[in-house]
Amino acid sequence: AQSVTQLDSHVSVSEGTPVLLRCNYSSSYSPSLFWYVQHPNKGLQLLLKYTSAATLVKGINGFEAEFKKSETSFHLTKPSAHMSDAAEYFCVVSGWAAGNKLTFGGGTRVLVKP
Amino acid sequence: DAGVTQSPTHLIKTRGQQVTLRCSPISGHKSVSWYQQVLGQGPQFIFQYYEKEERGRGNFPDRFSARQFPNYSSELNVNALLLGDSALYLCASSLDPRNEKLFFGSGTQLSVL
């Protein structure tokens, strides 16, 4: 079985300040982990993915995430928020034992204040 | 290049009716997956098809069915609609069933009255 918990349903940051979105996962095997972003009225876009290579993963638009097996976490960070980062972010777990289906967390809505 | 396209973008139905949603994957992609996203929640997996065969099914009732055509496009059918079926239905395509890079369409917003 696999599951994902996003620890914050809403995060509010000021433009130019760091962003931290927290994610914990549960999986009975070595998982693949992803972060997706969903802007209003747009489809989901892949930000980055972890597939058992380097534990620090760099993605698009300045985002990065660190895989910590001991803490079963995969937190997403960005050093400096931009207004265009306002969106909903989903942490996702997948794996061959689950038929490669994606299991999404509940999402974190990010608000960026000017 | 065209991305994943879904039709229609919006749909209003009444309880008990049937609905068909359509999806065209990115050219060259042979795997199509369907997800349901209820307002305020993350998407939930419904089906995956690869090379016209069902490769996975989520925890949804038999009222939900899907198929994939020889050109790799796909349809999702929902019978006997319930109010709780109101959601954004997302289609995603990938080159193969490992889903290491899924491309999502913008979805079909279904409202059941």
- Flag whether pLDDT at A3 surpasses 70: yes
Which amino acid is present at A105?
Answer: G
> A95 to chain B, minimum CA–CA distance in Å?
8
Q: What is the pLDDT confidence band of residue A109, given thresholds at 50, 70 and 90?
A: very high
Closest CA to B35 of B86, B102, B111, B92: B92
When scoring A38, A90, A100 by the number of chain B Cβ atoms within 10 A, the one with the most, hence best to mutate, is A100
Indicate if the alpha-carbon torsion angle A46, B96, B72, B65 is positive or negative.
Answer: negative
Query: Which structure tokens are listed for B73?
Result: 């496009």
Is residue A99's pLDDT more than 80? no
B59 at the A interface (CB within 8 A)?
no
**Residue-wise pLDDT tens digits, A32-47:** 899 999 998 788 999 9
Confidence of residue A77 (pLDDT cuts 50, 70, 90): very high
Q: What is the mean pLDDT of residues B51-73?
A: 94
What pLDDT, on a 0 to 100 scale, did the predictor assign at position A111? 97
What confidence category does residue B1 fall into, taking pLDDT thresholds of 50, 70 and 90? low
d(CA A31, CA A91): 12
Residues 25 to 84 of A: which have CB under 8 A from any B CB?
Answer: 32, 36, 41-46, 49, 51
Q: Cβ contact (<8 Å) for A42 and B45?
A: no
Residue A27's pLDDT band (cuts 50, 70, 90): confident
Closest alpha carbon within chain A to B97? A100
Contact B4 A44 (CB under 8 A): no
Mutate one of B53, B95, B99 to test the A interface: name it (highest A CB count within 10 A): B99
Residue numbers in B near A49 (CB within 8 A): 100-101
A96 has a chain B CB within 8 A of its CB? yes
**Domains assigned to chain A:** 2-113 (2.60.40.10)
User: Which B positions 9-38 lie with beta carbon below 8 A of chain A?
Assistant: 33, 35
CATH entry 3.90.660.10 includes domain B5-112: no
Domain extent listing, chain B:
5-112
- CB-CB under 8 Å, B98 with A100: yes
Burial of A7 (0-12, 13-18, 19+ CB in 10 A): middle
With a pLDDT cut of 90, the percent of chain B lying above it is 88
Residue B9's pLDDT is what? 95
